[in-house]
Chain A
Amino acid sequence: MVDPIPASHQPRARSNLTRGWPFLPAGVVLLVLFLLPMTVMVAFSLWRTNSDLDVVPDWTLDNYIYFFSEGTYVRTFLKTLIMAAAVTAAGIATALPFAYFLVRYVGQRWQRIVLLAVIVPFWTSYLLRAYAWQAILGEKGALNQFLMGIGLIDEPSRLFVYNDLSVWLVLLYVYFPFAALALYTALEKFDFNQLNAAQDLGARPDQAFRRILLPQIRPGVITACIFVFVPILGEFLTPTLVGGAQGALIANLIINFFRGLQYTTMAAFSFVIAGFVIVVLVIFRRYLRVEDVVARG
């Protein structure tokens, strides 16, 4: 009656000595491209820029203190976090139904075509796409033309661009594909018959969604969140092009220090963000538990 289970544990064959070697190339890459620059940055953030704009290796926390003592910086940083969260939320809220519909109701052939259409914008430059949005939302832009055309407004509105909303919208446009692809990959592995099974067992559709679908695509949702949230913390191009004075994010301020050759301040500000990203990743990691990986297999 008890059927045999295939053995899942293979005995460890490799010795401790040889085990590390395969990771050597990756280690070198990590060291050169990541650890080294980071070390320089950490050092800079704890040094001082003198009045001749030279970096002087005097150890100090002044750069960090400066960040937290200036209301504008803290406010802009908080605003950046809120913006990143708002775009992430909107990205998941749009990409999830999109990917769900695509996987569940669209045939294989069309799925591939739609996915391609989602990826195609990546082949054009980011700058070009952001400019395109400026052209759409601007005073003489397509949106105004259209609204005046159908008679909804009499004169061009300036409300569509150079504010937080336009930054949010364009960021959503830019990061939607990342969220969509991450969620598509997760949903593709899901057996939708399970939703019928859940309802058969007395679950309402929303309960089936929450208790059966969501836990199984959680790794995909988290991946999507990271792919959207983290890069937005470093976004400066979109705010520059469609954000105007109101829409600046923290990276815009950092760029300003860079242009003003204030490298030590810049390094410290960057590290505030980097520190935050690390905290976010650690928190997300806790939700990527072993069961999720098993459930996906």
Chain B
Amino acid sequence: MSVPAIELVDATKRYGTSMALDRVSLRIERGEFFCLLGPSGCGKTTTLNLIGGFIPLTSGELRIEGQRVNDMPPHKRNVNTVFQNYALFPHMTVEENVAFGLRMARLGSGETATRVDEYLALVGLEAFHDRLPAQLSGGQQQRVALARALARRPAVLLLDEPLGALDLKLRKQMQVELARIHRQVGTTFVFVTHDQEEALSMATRIAVMSAGRVVQSGTPRDIYYHPVDRFVADFIGESNFLEGVAVRDGARSYVRLGGGSTVDAPADAPPGSVTLMVRPESVSVGPAPATNGEASLSGRVIHVAFIGNHTRVTVRTPAGDIVALRPHSEGSASSALDELLDQEVCAWWSPRDSTIVAHGSTEKIDERLV
């Protein structure tokens, strides 16, 4: 295996008695677009600050490109940061801002000028060399910060909620931009966000954090469809949770739910008390399952909501409420869903689309957050 860009081994950061980071281990490969995702105060910025060198580790080890850098000051580390508030130098022009890091690296003036042009072009700000940061919009300042950090061609680019201050439309636009820039420069990106959609759409891998720990790391698909516990499932999108007891009966395994109903379980379900999770968009609603072998519950439709690109149907079953998210098919189909209100129906899904999540960990995490 090649040397990873970043490696954290049991990295711990303590402030007095509170644990900002608690034995975090991460391995970020070269060229990845790695997202740190989690609620406010979970330690995302702390992780970035450790890698950037702005705060020391309490214990554990940090390696950049295989080299242990625990005690290396920030100006010697081969990483650069796009700060949450950009931290542009207000007394310098755009050009001088981008050139600053190159001057510090003692690049010749010719090479510096070439690089400045190259990276301002990369972020689409060729025409802004002589502006001061105060004369730029938020989105443009963001681009300058990006160019300034990338111009040093670091091994790793750290981005702390770089899109947090932008309005929704600009945010979407910058997500596309960032993905393009990542492809173009090929540098490892470590990206902090508390927006799950942003993480899912941009990352090659995600680490979900909670209360100073990494709860789960994996590809967006992994994390979305196979969250390890209720916290992760809840944090990333909407989920249906069904409490029950898993039973293995020969090759078939099923879950006996509250109210006496049973549904087929995913093949790897361990016997015993479990929480079954299924995403709303995996659930279908109708008079009866279209095919055999589906996990199915019957109940009454108590709520139908039109939410633009989808319709959200809530079915009350003896095992609990199930939410289904259905796309509109052509024409009258959407009104067909409207007519389901108060009808007795079936809600079904493929057992493969459901997953067993760790039991009751939401409560534990809530406690830790307090």
Q: Chain A interface (Cβ within 8 Å of chain B)?
A: 1-5, 8, 191, 193-194, 196-205, 207, 211-212, 215-216, 291-292, 294-295, 297
Contact = CB atoms under 8 A, between A and B. Distances in A.
B124 to A, nearest CB: 6
B52 A200 contact: yes
Contacts of B132: 291, 294-295
Contact of A194 (B89, B105, B124): B89
Query: Which of B81, B85, B100 counts the most chain A CB atoms within 10 A?
Result: B100
B101 to A, nearest CB: 3
B140 interface: yes
B83 A196 contact: yes
B54 A5 contact: no
A2 to B, nearest CB: 8
Nearest to B86: A197
Consensus secondary structure, chain A interface:
helix
Interface stretch (B72-80, B223-231, B261-269): B72-80
Given A197-B83, A200-B52, A294-B134, 10 more contacts: A1-B124, A191-B87, A194-B87, A194-B89, A197-B81, A201-B152, A202-B152, A216-B91, A294-B132, A295-B132
Nearest to B127: A2
B125 to A, nearest CB: 9
A216 B139 CA distance: 24
A199 B74 contact: yes
Nearest to B131: A5
B91 A295 contact: yes
B137 A4 contact: yes
A295 B75 contact: no
Nearest to A196: B54
A194 B133 CA distance: 13
A152 to B, nearest CB: 40
A176 B73 CA distance: 34
By Cβ-Cβ distance, the 3 closest A-B pairs, closest first, are A201-B101, A202-B104, A3-B137
Contact of B87 (A4, A193, A203): A193
14 contacts: A3-B140, A5-B135, A191-B85, A198-B89, A200-B54, A201-B101, A201-B104, A201-B148, A201-B152, A205-B75, A216-B91, A294-B90, A295-B132, A297-B134
Contact of B90 (A4, A211, A216): A216
A22 to B, nearest CB: 28
B75 A202 contact: yes
A197 B98 CA distance: 12
Contacts of A205: 75
Interface in B29-88: 52-54, 73-75, 79-81, 83, 85, 87-88
Contacts of A199: 53-54, 73-75
Contacts of B135: 5, 8
A291 B56 CA distance: 36
Interface of B: 52-54, 73-75, 79-81, 83, 85, 87-91, 100-101, 104-105, 124, 132, 134-140, 148-149, 152, 170
Contacts of A201: 75, 80, 100-101, 104, 148-149, 152
A58 to B, nearest CB: 55
A199 B83 CA distance: 12
A201 B138 CA distance: 21
A290 to B, nearest CB: 11
Contacts of A212: 89
A193 B139 contact: no
Contact of A215 (B79, B88, B91): B91
A200 B84 CA distance: 14
A197 B89 CA distance: 9
Nearest to B145: A197
Given A194-B87, A215-B91, A200 B124 contact: no
Nearest to A4: B137
Given A200-B80, A201-B148, A202-B101, A193 B85 contact: yes
Contacts of B79: 200
Nearest to A201: B101
Contacts of A294: 90-91, 132, 134
A198 B80 contact: no
Contacts of A4: 137
A197 B148 CA distance: 10
Contacts of B100: 198, 201, 203, 211
Nearest to A197: B87
A196 B74 contact: yes
B85 A203 contact: no
B89 A203 contact: no
Contacts of A5: 135-137
Given A3-B140, A216-B91, A203 B75 contact: yes
Contact of A203 (B88, B91, B104, B124): B104
Contacts of B140: 2-3
A204 B139 contact: no
A64 B170 CA distance: 70
A214 to B, nearest CB: 10
B355 to A, nearest CB: 40
Nearest to A202: B104
A208 to B, nearest CB: 8
A200 B81 contact: yes
B118 to A, nearest CB: 17
A291 B91 contact: yes
Contacts of B54: 196, 199-200
Nearest to B73: A199
Contacts of A196: 52, 54, 74, 81, 83, 87
Nearest to A297: B134
A199 B72 CA distance: 12
A193 B83 CA distance: 8
Contacts of B137: 3-5
A273 B287 CA distance: 100
Nearest to A204: B75
A177 to B, nearest CB: 27
A199 B308 CA distance: 47
A200 B74 contact: yes
B133 to A, nearest CB: 9
A292 B80 CA distance: 27
